[in-house]
Structures are given as structure tokens and as C-alpha cells.
Amino acid sequence: MGVTQSLYKNISERVYEFNKSSGNNGVPGIQLILLGIILSILSSSLTLKYLHKQKFKSSIKPLPAKLANNKERRWGHWKPEAFKAPIPKPYPDWDFKTTRPIPYRAFKHKYFVNMGIRSMDWNEWIELDNEWQKYHDLKLHRIATKNEQLYGTEPEARPAALELLNEFYQYLPNRYPKLFKQTTIGLDNLVTGESFNFFDHPLQEDPMLMIAKLIQDDIAVMVEAEDGNYYLKAGAIMLAGFWRLKDKLHLCLSDIHTSGDVPKYSTHLKAGMEKFFQRQTCDKPVVRNNYFIQTDNNLAWSDSIGDESNDSIGWYTAPKVKNIENCYFRSERQSVRRLPISGAMIFTVRTYFLPVEELCKEPFVPRRLFDGINSWDEDVKEYKGYEAFKDILMPYLEKKAKEQEAQGYTIENEKNCYPY
């Protein structure tokens, strides 16, 4: 039963009882007529709101992927496709207080520079856990102090941003029904009491800002231009640690990476990544993981590489670590998917963060991490700040590895469980 029909039934029953109690024996009187008028107005209002909510969808006529034939498209001219992401299953036994972060340990004994992508399960697009409140509070604090430095939606990305809101409208309350509830205008957070209005225009908040308050991830929207490149045109980058939205906004995929001195990007990554973005289909989302060592405990912004407000930032400003307590393991779980209507590419970045001392309590981890870091090429070492932590971290990892190996946790007994 739709919202309007349900409301009509509820009010009709109340009107009947009202008339009966007034001596009309349920027969319509002047009160019923007046309430009927009110009902008509309210029903019309709801119907108009529903139609307004559907405006984005109804104004576009998507085609099956074969008929849209976006494989042969002119760059920057995506034809809307009639693809709908599967409705996710509820996260098994998910609990706001007890569901722990997924323990990604995305490092191997040998480090390789590659895209490292793998297929994504649609159920697992967004990962939330018992650190949601911590991330949410940190984002709210940063919004209060940095505000629009952290998020924004350029006009070119507006259709994609609205489409993305609808994706979250479907995904979050189905995957996390204990945290989110659908309403006629958007989503309610059942824990914080926040309400988000996705469908009344003009929107009360920037779409990227609303999304940032819903999930633990950072998020970026890449829009294809007529030159075949993908440009960062919208995002909420609040907990990235080492980079800022203002430095990357409007840049194409290649410039985003080269401006950040990503090792071997031109030789190992550029061609494959650009082809992947151009050829990516709506039904094939992917994920990848990476890792860093951070020398302070600030999830949102690593002060070790410089003050966030400075123009010049980098590992060259970082002081050398003096004790292992200042070494933290930072890991990102990134997803990439294409939206079917706008054709925009959506990039999510969920950061996991814990002390190295805690990490090294896990079997096999110290040796694997030691070997992985030890295999970094010189350009990777420079990019990841090796000089700042090597004198403290590497002896510690080797010591912990030998302690575990004495207990039987050797490479020969280790199972390949990447990325965990």
C-alpha cells in the first residue's frame, strides 16, 4: 500500500469514528465533508511530492545496455542505461555497538605497483561498523571548522550527485536497517535522530555533505569529458589523511595521481587505469586496498606532513619517529562503480586505522609487513615516508616477527588470505 493510500485509509477510519461519536452513526456530515477536503489537499500534496521525487527518473528514459551501446559512445556523451543495482541483504547480525571494523591487512611479502582491483560484492559496497559514531563526530567537527573546503558539487556533477543520493536511499536502509530508515523525503538516522531530505528542491544541503554524514567513507565523483578523461567534479574528502579536495578538484585522473607523485604511475598504472575508467560497465563494480604507515594518531589529517592549511605539505617536513607508539597502520578500502543514468564514476574510500603495536599482535603480520616494506623501491619509500619511521618501525617488526616464528608462526605455515 502506498503512502497516500495508507494515509487515506487511516484518516477515513478516524472520520468514521468522529462522526459516530458525534451522533451521526457514521453517516457523513459537515465534519466529514470538511475533513474530506483536508484529506484531498493532503493527498494531492503527497502525490505531488512523490512525483517531484521521481522527477529525476521520469525525465530520463534509460535503455538496455545493448541498445544504449555506450561501448561505442563519443566521450562525454553517456546514454542512460536501464540498470539497477541489486537491493542488498541486511548485514548479518550488524550491531551499532558490537560490529567491529573488518580487519584488512592488505600487504604481501613482496610489494607490487599495480591497480590490484577485484570484483565487488554488491552487498558490500559500503562498510559500516561500531566506529561509525567516532567517524561521524570527527566529520561534524571538521565540517564546523573547515566547512566547504571539505566538500562540494560542481554543476557538471549535479545530475550524478542526485542519482547518487537515490543509490544511498535504496542501499543504506536495506543493508543497515538498524541505523537507517526510508522516509517519503529521504532517510532518517535511527541512532542520531538526523533526517536527510533528498528530494525536495532546492536541497537544504549539498548532496556530498549529506552523503558524508551517512557513511564512514570519503567519496569522489569523476565525470567523463569530451576528451575522454575523467575529472573530479564533486566529493566529500574529510578523512583522507594526506590529500585535500581543494588540491584535486577539477583535475583529471592522470593529474590527480601525478600531482601527488604516485610512484610509477606513468609507467605502470596510467594506461591501464584510463582504459578501465572508459570501459567500466555499471554491473561490474570493483574494490581495491592499499596501506600506509602514519607517524601520528590523527585519522582526518596527518600533521606529520605539515599543517593542513599550509600550501606546502609532504613527508619532507616530517620529523623522525622517536618511539613505536607513534607508528600507526593506515589502510584504505576503495570501491569504484559507474552510475547507470549519468555515467559518472563513483569512488569511495573507507579508511581503517590502528596502532602498529596492536596490529603486530596478530599471527604472521609482523613478518609479512616487514618483508613488504623492505621490498619497496626507492620511489615508493619516498612516497610513503620511509625515512621518517624506518629506524623505529623496521627493528620493531623484525623483533616481533622473530618472536612469532619461535612460536611456529612461520612463512611456511602462513595461508594466503589477502586482503585480510
**Residue 58 in domain:** no
Q: Which of 293, 362, 282, 352 is nearest to 134 (CA)?
A: 352
Q: How confident is the model at residue 178 (pLDDT cuts 50, 70, 90)?
A: very high
Whether residue 266 is found in the same domain as residue 367? yes
Whether residue 288 is found in the same domain as residue 337? yes
**Residue 327 in domain:** yes
Whether residue 226 is found in the same domain as residue 309? yes
pLDDT of residue 387 exceeding 70: yes
**Hey, what's the cell of 365?**
603480520
- pLDDT tens digits, one per residue of 306-319: 999 998 899 998 99
pLDDT of residue 420 exceeding 90: yes
Whether residue 44 is found in the same domain as residue 123? no
Average of pLDDT values for 315-326? 94
14 vs 397, higher pLDDT: 397
**Residue 146 in domain:** yes
Q: How confident is the model at residue 248 (pLDDT cuts 50, 70, 90)?
A: very high
Whether residue 118 is found in the same domain as residue 190? yes
Average of pLDDT values for 295-305? 96
Whether residue 31 is found in the same domain as residue 76? no
**Residue 339 in domain:** yes
User: CB–CB of 396/322 below 8 Å?
Assistant: no
Q: Where are the alpha helices (DSSP H) in 307-384?
A: 356-359, 365-374, 378-383
Average of pLDDT values for 234-252? 96
**Residue 420 in domain:** no
d(CA 49, CA 185): 8
Whether residue 105 is found in the same domain as residue 182? yes
Average of pLDDT values for 2-18? 40
Whether residue 114 is found in the same domain as residue 141? yes
On average, the pLDDT of the chain sits at: 89
| Number of domains forming the structure of the chain | 2
Whether residue 14 is found in the same domain as residue 158? no
Whether residue 184 is found in the same domain as residue 70? yes
**Residue 238 in domain:** yes
Whether residue 20 is found in the same domain as residue 140? no
**Residue 168 in domain:** yes
Whether residue 90 is found in the same domain as residue 130? yes
**Residue 60 in domain:** no
Range of the domain at 26: 3-53
Q: Where are the alpha helices (DSSP H) in 202-252?
A: 207-214, 245-248
